[in-house]
Homo-oligomer: A and B are copies of this chain.
Amino acid sequence: MNHSDDGLNKQRVRSDLSSVSGGVRDRPEARSGAPAGTTAQSRSAVFAELGELLGDRAGDSRPLREHHGKDESYFPNALPDAVVFPESTEEVKAIVDICRRHRTPLIAFGAGTSLEGHVLAVKGGVCVDMTRMNRLLEVNAEDLDCTVQAGVTRKQLNEEIKHTGLFFPIDPGADATLGGMAATRASGTNAVRYGTMRENVLSLKVVLADGRVIRTSRRSRKSAAGYDLTRLFVGSEGTLGIITEVSVRLYPVPEAISAAVCSFRDIGGAVDTVIQTLQSGIPIARSEALCATTMRAINVHSKMNQRELPTLFLEFHGSAASVEEQARMVQEIAHEHGGLDFEWTARTEDRNRLWAARHNAYFACLQLRPGARAVSTDVCVPISRLTECMLATVADITAASMPVPMFGHVGDGNFHLVILVDPHHPADMDEAKALNNRLVERALAMGGTCTGEHGIGMGKIGSLRKEAGEAYAVMCELKQMFDPQSIMNPGKVVALP
């Protein structure tokens, strides 16, 4: 599967594509020894055309290809044959037209932070790096929405709209691009209050495999006009078309924000606290559960002094009176469910410290086993099954040979394991895969999904097939309808012959 191990991959494009944006230079010697043949000739032709279109915004140096041939998953690198940097939808369309004529794969690339191999060029082809499409096109403060080019990152967006008093809430941790977040149906810590990309994308501009450019819907808040193409592309992982513009909902920055921490003897108390909170209609903005191992890692990494027990991190948004009322109500609920203490703070610096620790949990956990690499997993179950699912997983973790911190977004029923493997120890990877498979099977058996927010990529195609049953075949048919040549990020989401 890993194209970078493929002999064909060694052949290079002609030298007029040699200069590369970002200061990376092509090394002509790398092109020596290109095998002859139709494929090689066709590939050269593709790159010649791309060079003509984009000049030095098309490149194929090894460092450039290596940078675009990996993500944050545990899969081996798979390098594209070239990388292009379009600046407009029209350029993306022209790139797609070139690649289609030559049946060359296209892989849209944002921040490269996906976790299931989404951007790996497993069939070679052209990586379409969207990061130069980084302009805000429209901010409609009265409508609480904006339209941006797909390469705008969430932090950039929030920085550039700060003056409006609005913010974009979806926060998957990484500073991902809006296009990438739409393509993976991303969510994160505050989906319990604000929803995921599914609920927050109003409209997309997409270049289809056949070169048509569509706007999937208007940006009005509601519409009952025709089939929901917007949602069809949200979560399609670049396999049905390339997203070039994204319109999203924005929200007023809350008048007041407060946070709380509460530890529990067992994870069940934490989950039950959140269930009762949601059933009471208290609009919590964040509800994160962290296991004792994660708390230990965080204490070391962020120099904190929290109890090393299952712990809830909470956040409340609203008016000053409302956030205080919410916190008081949740404190009572936590107390009923064995909450050991309940530290509440409305101070911005305390709150930032807390969430920085949560966001750094991944890196903190990595330090539990120096030199380790993380296999990051992701399932989501109905919240009524969450305690059972987490406890069964704890039994697996206890039996594991490596540290496996567990944390997640309780309010959504979504949690992660960070399986710390020694990259030089193949048995570790086998164990991690087995642990991951058992977790997915368990989630599916409980009516859950194999991924709450990481997506399918190349890592979970088998799981999707099990989860979706007959619907998997329908997904394959959709892929074939939109992309009959299978040039759009092939080998992801669905496995076609």
The answer on a CB contact under 8 Å between A380 and B222 is yes
- Scoring A residues 147 to 168 as 1 if CB is less than 8 Å from chain B, else 0, what string do you get? 0000000000000000001100
Annotate A464-478 by CB proximity to B: 1 below 8 A, 0 otherwise.
Answer: 100111111111011
User: Which residues of chain B have C-beta atoms less than 8 A from A475's C-beta?
Assistant: 226-227, 229
5 smallest beta-carbon distances between A and B, as pairs: A231-B231, A252-B281, A142-B384, A223-B449, A214-B471
Q: Which residues of B sit under 8 angstroms from A228, Cβ to Cβ?
A: 185, 198, 228, 231-232, 234-235
CA distance A452 to B166 in the complex (A): 25
CA distance A318 to B67 in the complex (A): 50
Asked, given contacts A229-B474, A279-B141, whether A196 binds B222 with beta carbons under 8 Å apart, the answer is: yes
Q: Which residues of B contact A494 (CB under 8 A)?
A: 226
Instruction: Identify the stretch in A15-23, A346-354, A390-398, A453-461 within 8 Å (CB) of chain B at 4 or more residues.
Output: A453-461
| Among candidates B208, B215, B217, B414, residue contacting A222 with C-beta atoms closer than 8 Å | B414
Cα–Cα distance between A188 and B255 once the two chains are bound (Å): 28
Q: Name the one of B143, B218, B447, B468 contacting A226, with C-beta atoms under 8 angstroms.
A: B468
| Pairwise interchain contact A456-B226, C-beta atoms closer than 8 A | yes
> Interface size for chain A: under 10, 10 to 19, 20 to 34, or 35 or more residues?
35 or more
- Kindly list chain B residues whose C-beta atoms are within 8 Å of the C-beta of A231: 198, 228, 231-232
A381 on the B face (CB < 8 A): yes
The answer to whether A481 has its CB under 8 Å from any CB of chain B is yes
A448 beta carbon closer than 8 Å to chain B: yes
Closest to A281 in B: B252
Nearest CB of chain B from residue A323's CB, rounded to whole Å: 11
Known: A252-B280, A281-B254, A384-B140. A185 touches B220 (CB 8 A): no
